[in-house]
Amino acid sequence: MNQNLADELVTMMAEDQRLLQQLFGSGELPWESYHPRMKALHEHNASRLKEITGRCGWPGISLVGEDAAKAAWLIAQHSVSEPGFMAECIRLIEEAVAREDVAGWRIAC
């Protein structure tokens, strides 16, 4: 297992969730548009996940453990500014599911 990569992915997910809670709690989260701070964080995280998948393939359980595999899935799910990358993530997740390295329900989301 790559603990450094696992820690990085979990940290990225935590930052995403922390910013979401901060914006939601402050009333800054506009439901009719994409908050610029959230968009910037999602784009940064997507860029990093793209580097990771390009180098390692999908970061599944065998590479990063369950929590970090979940974090990678959330980061991919929030990559809405990059639909092509999201499609690539689906393909990579399907391959990881076939290897039993990711929970199958993640394909549906």
pLDDT in tens, 93-108: 999 999 999 988 777 6
For the chain, residues with pLDDT lower than 50 are none
Cβ-count burial of 88 within 10 angstroms (0-12 exposed, 13-18 middle, 19+ buried)?
A: middle
DSSP 28: -
Range of the domain at 24: 3-107
User: What predicted TM-score, i.e. pTM, was given to this entire model?
Assistant: 0.89
Split into its structural domains, the chain has a count of: 1
pLDDT at res. 29: 63
Q: Where are the alpha helices (DSSP H) in the chain?
A: 3-26, 36-56, 61-77, 83-98
pLDDT at res. 31: 67
